[in-house]
């Protein structure tokens, strides 16, 4: 086992897969040169693989996504980086209408093995156009796999797994996760796509989360344990397709469900999971399903308002307390 940060795990996974598969190349803004990636995720890769496989582009998200999707259709495996998750709106036609649909409109003849890495910025002051996420738009694009690891181990494992298959993937990262550290196996491994991870077992309430919200759920569970509440925490890891069976098995055991996710509460991932559990396991519930998420307003340009509307471990804790009542 080796200890590394989330950013280092992503970089090492991409480096190893680029050495293994010559079709893989990176494309995005300031990936090399002096910047080396805004979060240094791509640091050193341009020096190792050259400018033809680590391609710096002008500031044009639609161009980055379009070039990546086109290259994938013609046999390459691009990894496109979109620096701000909110700017995925500029790529919507490329991933929603093109990458997600070519398999269907070609009767399976055309594969689009493209990956788009998008970085969700939240809980910091960077303005409403940069901070936030468009996860609901991504998850409402049939044909797209959406991955959102919460740990360095899963960041590496899911990156490898995604690059070893041929379907279009959106890899959802979070700016607040890049610096966290964790143990990563030394051997070649992959994290299964479509399988959640029960990272903390419990008996009183199920808390489902993904990405940065997993960290909130763990901290809330620790606090709840001191008060005698046993929370089971499930890390989705894969948002599309998500692991229904693990969620349902847990809810049938605990009879209560809280879903924590960073993003707007309405029409978010929590709404989908709530509806699924209500359809398939409502007879097991002893309390209403509770969603803990961001308020349905854009993130502001001052810290007081950002803290007020953003998800936090305190808000997950409060959601579980309401569910227990």
Domain boundaries 2-184, corresponding CATH code: 3.40.50.970
| Helices of type H across 40-99 | 45-49, 61-73, 92
* Residues classed as catalytic: 130
96 contacts 136 by C-beta, under 8 angstroms: no
Query: What six digits make up the tokens of 183?
Result: 């143990």
pLDDT at residue 278, rounded to an integer:
97
pLDDT in tens, 80-104: 999 988 899 999 999 999 999 999 9
127, 84 contact by CB (below 8 A): no
Q: Mind giving me the DSSP string for 102-155? A: HHHHTTT------EEEEEEB-SS-S-TTTSB--HHHHHTSTT-EEE---SHHHH
What local confidence, expressed as pLDDT, does residue 103 receive?
A: 92
The pLDDT, as a whole number, for residue 130 is 75
Report d(CA 145, CA 154) in Å as an integer. 15
Report the topology of domain 197-324. Rossmann fold (3.40.50)
pLDDT digits (tens, 9 = 90+) for 210-250: 999 999 999 999 999 999 999 999 999 999 999 999 999 99
Q: What is the pLDDT of residue 227?
A: 96
Residue 36 has a pLDDT of: 86
Domain map of the chain by residue range?
Answer: 2-184, 197-324
Beta bridge partners of 82: 118
Q: What is the DSSP letter of 51?
A: T
pLDDT at 28: 96
The number of beta carbons lying within 10 Å of the beta carbon of residue 93 is 13
Q: 184-187 contacts: CB < 8 A, separation 24 or more?
A: 184/1, 184/2, 184/3, 184/4, 184/9, 184/12, 184/152, 184/153, 184/156, 185/1, 185/2, 185/153, 186/1, 186/2
Residue 131's pLDDT is: 75
Predicted structure pTM score = 0.94
Residues 6 or more apart whose Cβ sits within 8 Å of residue 183:
1, 2, 3, 152, 153
| Predicted pLDDT at 104 | 92
The per-residue pLDDT for 34 is 83
Three-class SS state of 3:
strand
Reported residue count of the chain is 325
Per-residue pLDDT in tens (0 to 9) along the chain, 325 residues: 999 999 999 999 999 999 999 999 999 999 998 888 888 999 999 999 999 999 999 999 999 999 999 999 999 999 999 998 889 999 999 999 999 999 999 999 999 999 999 998 777 777 777 777 888 889 999 999 999 999 999 999 999 999 999 999 999 999 999 999 999 999 999 999 999 999 999 999 999 999 999 999 999 999 999 999 999 999 999 999 999 999 999 999 999 999 999 988 999 999 999 999 999 999 999 999 999 999 888 887 888 888 888 899 999 999 999 999 8
Whether 2-184 and 197-324 share one fold: the answer is: yes
What whole-number distance in Å separates Cα of residue 259 and Cα of residue 211? 12
Give the per-residue pLDDT at 220. Answer: 97
């Amino acid at each position: 086992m080796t200890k590394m940060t989330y950013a280092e795990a992503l970089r090492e996974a991409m480096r190893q897969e680029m050495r293994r598969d010559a079709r893989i190349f990176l494309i995005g803004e300031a990936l090399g040169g002096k910047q080396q990636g805004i979060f240094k995720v791509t640091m050193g890769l341009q020096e190792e693989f050259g400018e033809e496989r680590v391609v710096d582009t002008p500031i044009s998200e639609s161009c980055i996504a379009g070039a990546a999707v086109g290259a994938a259709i013609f046999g390459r495996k691009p990894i496109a980086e979109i620096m701000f998750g909110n700017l995925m709106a500029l790529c919507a036609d490329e991933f929603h209408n093109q990458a997600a649909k070519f398999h269907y409109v070609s009767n399976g003849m055309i594969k689009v093995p493209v990956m788009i890495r998008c970085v969700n910025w939240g809980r910091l002051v960077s303005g409403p156009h940069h901070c936030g996420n468009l996860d609901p738009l991504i998850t409402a694009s049939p044909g797209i796999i959406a991955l959102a690891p919460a740990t360095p181990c899963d960041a590496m494992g899911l990156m490898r797994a995604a690059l070893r298959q041929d379907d279009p993937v959106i890899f959802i990262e979070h700016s607040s996760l890049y610096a966290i550290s964790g143990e990563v196996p030394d051997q070649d491994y992959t994290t299964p796509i479509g399988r959640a991870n029960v990272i903390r077992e419990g008996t009183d309430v199920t808390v489902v989360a993904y990405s940065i919200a997993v960290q909130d759920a763990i901290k809330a569970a620790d606090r709840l344990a001191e008060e005698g509440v046993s929370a089971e925490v499930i890390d989705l890891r894969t948002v599309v397709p998500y692991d229904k069976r693990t969620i349902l098995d847990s809810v049938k055991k605990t009879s209560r469900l809280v879903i924590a996710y960073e993003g707007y509460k309405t029409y978010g991932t929590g709404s989908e999971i709530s509806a699924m559990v209500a359809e398939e396991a409502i007879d097991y519930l002893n309390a209403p399903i509770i969603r803990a998420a961001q308020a349905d307003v854009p993130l502001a340009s001052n810290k007081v308002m950002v803290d007020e509307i953003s998800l936090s471990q305190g808000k997950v804790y409060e959601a579980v307390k309401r569910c227990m009542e």
